Amino acid sequence: MSLTRLSIDAFRNIQSAQLLPGPGLNLIYGQNGSGKTSILEAIYFLGMGRSFRSHLAQRVINQDADKLTLFAQLKLESGDSKLGLRRFRNGDTEVRIDGERVKRLSELAEALPIQVITPESFALLFEGPKARRQFIDWGAFHSSPQFHQAWMASRRILKQRNQLLRNGAPYQQIRFWDQELVRYALEVTEIRNQYVHSLNDVLKGIIGEFLPEVDIRVSFTRGWDSKSELAELLEAQYPRDLATGHTVNGPHKADLRLRVGTLPVQDALSRGQLKLLVCALRIAQGKLLKQQIDKHSIYLVDDLPSELDAQHRQQLLQQLLDTGAQLFVTAIEPAAIVDLLPAPPDRMFHVEQGRVTQIE
């Protein structure tokens, strides 16, 4: 799977741009602030319905416009597909797949699986369990048709339970919701656990290439005491939950643990090593997707040379190329990437003040 055409209108400082990407490595270069990262962000927005740089979607709309428009043509094994997204300043979003209007952004995510490696990717290791849970859930969503429905149900029930707790409801009133929560929580947890187990098999080889001198262990924690049944725990912790106004333990507290010996990787590795670890996680996730459902991810890699020496940049590029997936890589100077490649990039694009030019 690859993008064969990309149209961007009124997205950040890009007034209008038309790109015809190649199926392999697409190198996007330009000075800081030129708009090269905005191209990656636009692809991500088209696949996820949100930005990886800001939680406020209105901020990505060009200041002189009332809406942004993104369009892509995909080359698939089964033929071509077209995706379109329009986001209005009032918050309304219109999404179309092959001309048909769709209501759920999850349909975009299913159609366009994306892996992102950016400076913000460090959130996976530094900003608490939420980012790591999202990482697990991305893989679980793509690998299991049952996951999304069970995940949505558990979130909806948890929201209802927390509202009852804030209202001071007696446990007899909450018991029904706990039974439903347990049902969906166990399904979500089993799929998550299976996914992390499968990911580990792929991840070990990549980490061995990037960080051969470090023994990194990756494990899944389900969000409650492994020795306790969730139903019993929810009832036992009711007084505590009532006092805090929210559910303390459950699938919403699941996490991905990464350790070197007894230390969290954040305390044991250098910043450069941590960047390689994040890259390994993203590459492994894309490779596993290909193994499980025979679909490539699209990789968005922003500022690849940052904080890596030439040897590790080359290792990372080779691992990315070995996936066989379509790559979009940004750099300030093209030589920082081109000089490390065994062959020229499929396409090169120069970005200056929001204007995109393909370099022949």
Say what the pLDDT of residue 282 is. Answer: 93
| DSSP 3-state of 330 | strand
Q: Is 35 annotated as a binding residue?
A: yes
- The pTM of the full predicted model, rounded to 2 decimals, is 0.90
Say what the pLDDT of residue 42 is. Answer: 94
Order of strands, sheet of 79-88, starting from the edge strand that comes earlier in the sequence: 14-19, 2-11, 67-76, 79-88, 93-97, 100-102
The tokens describing 11, both together, are 């997205």
Residue type, 66: D
Mean pLDDT of each 10-residue bin along the chain, 360 residues long:
93 93 95 91 90 75 89 86 91 89 85 88 83 94 94 96 95 94 97 94 88 89 92 95 95 94 89 87 93 92 78 88 94 88 92 91
C-alpha triplet 63, 65, 67: angle, nearest 5°: 115
Q: Is 36 annotated as a binding residue?
A: yes
Q: Is 34 annotated as a binding residue?
A: yes
Say what the pLDDT of residue 57 is. Answer: 66
User: Exposed, middle or buried by CB within 10 Å (0-12, 13-18, 19+), for 127?
Assistant: exposed
- Give, as one character, the DSSP assignment of residue 82: E
| DSSP 3-state of 331 | strand
Q: Is 32 annotated as a binding residue?
A: yes
- Residue 144 CA, distance from chain mean position: 16
Q: Is 189 annotated as a binding residue?
A: no
| DSSP 3-state of 345 | coil
Q: Is 30 annotated as a binding residue?
A: yes
Helix (H) or strand (E) holding 128: none
Which is nearest to 3 in space by CA: 16, 15, 19? 19
Which is nearest to 40 in space by CA: 302, 285, 356? 302
Q: Is 31 annotated as a binding residue?
A: yes
**List of residues 6+ apart from 140 with CB closer than 8 A:** 147, 151, 188, 191, 192, 195
Task: Give the separation between CA 209 and CA 205, rounded to whole angstroms.
Answer: 6
Q: Is 33 annotated as a binding residue?
A: yes
